[in-house]
Chain A
Amino acid sequence: GAGVSQTPSNKVTEKGKYVELRCDPISGHTALYWYRQSLGQGPEFLIYFQGTGAADDSGLPNDRFFAVRPEGSVSTLKIQRTERGDSAVYLCASSPGVLAGGPYEQYFGPGTRLTVT
């Protein structure tokens, strides 16, 4: 079946602009996660959704970052007033979630490479 998909695959934006990154999880997966991977580093957690609600947003670095998942499926990560330090690969992952029992591993998408110039 289809895996996690992310669009766009690459995004170049100017400093100060607003960007949106999209994640389509595996169908039926209620848990969705966003991570950020800077060059030479491991992925770092940003936010976790269970259904429509953010169960843990402790990894969002500041209030310029925001994520939504209004219908419990597709999620959008939104970054306002982008800075050069936001340049990274943004990874999305999904898993079956709490109601499916578990535990389960997380299935990752290919990522969106964001470059802020």
Chain B
Amino acid sequence: AQSVTQPDIHITVSEGASLELRCNYSYGATPYLFWYVQSPGQGLQLLLKYFSGDTLVQGIKGFEAEFKRSQSSFNLRKPSVHWSDAAEYFCAVGSNTGFQKLVFGTGTRLLVSP
């Protein structure tokens, strides 16, 4: 069965500093991987996705993530955080048949300090 671990419940980053949010997954084959962001009272917005090919993927709002098969990881990064990035971030894994359910991690809440 698929599973996702986001080990950091909360992270606080100073505005302008770099960010890395960790995500580890468990899946028997090459998975499809996603990062979604959720602002308070809002639905989920897709930041980026990995299906195949280049293991470094670029997303919206200046985010990127790197798929590392050997570490079963898909960490999210941003070189310079803005106050508007404060939100909840969810990593998710889907099966490589492409059309089934997503399994989400428990999320990491990002706080941005001035």
Q: Which residues of A contact B (CB under 8 A)?
A: 4, 31, 33, 35, 40-45, 48, 50, 55-56, 59, 91, 93, 95, 97-98, 102-111
Residues 100-113 of chain B: 1 if any A CB is under 8 Å from the residue's CB, otherwise 0?
11111111000000
List chain A residues, Cβ under 8 A from B36. 108
Contact of A42 among B42, B43, B90 (CB under 8 A): B90
At the interface, is chain B mostly helix, strand, loop or mixed?
strand
Nearest CB in chain A to that of B101: its residue: A45
Known: A48-B100, A103-B98, A106-B102. A41 touches B43 (CB 8 A): no
Q: Given the known A-B contacts A41-B106, A43-B90, A91-B44, are A56 and B100 also in contact in the complex, defined by CB atoms under 8 Å?
A: yes
Considering the chains assembled together, what is the distance between the CA atoms of A43 and B105 in angstroms? 8
- Which interface class (under 10, 10 to 19, 20 to 34, 35 or more) fits B? 20 to 34
A92: nearest chain-B partner, CB-CB: B43
Q: Report whether B100 and A42 are in contact in the complex, using a CB–CB cutoff of 8 Å.
A: no
Q: Identify which of B42, B46, B51, B99 contacts A50 (C-beta below 8 A).
A: B99
Q: Identify which of A104, A105, A108 contacts B43 (C-beta below 8 A).
A: A108
The residues of B that contact A109 with a CB separation of less than 8 Å are: 43
Chain B residues, CB < 8 A from A40: 106-107
Look across to chain B and name the residue whose beta carbon is closest to the beta carbon of A46: B101
List of 9 A-B pairs having minimum Cβ-Cβ separation, nearest first = A103-B98, A42-B104, A45-B101, A108-B44, A110-B43, A108-B43, A102-B98, A43-B104, A42-B106
Instruction: Give bound CA distance, A48 to B103, whole Å.
Output: 13
Contact B99 A31 (CB under 8 A): yes
**How long is the Cα–Cα vector from A33 to B104 in the complex, in angstroms?**
14
Bound Cα distance from A45 to B44, whole angstroms: 14
Q: Which residues of A lie under 8 Å from residue B105 when comparing CB positions?
A: 42
User: Cβ of B101 and Cβ of A59 under 8 Å apart?
Assistant: yes
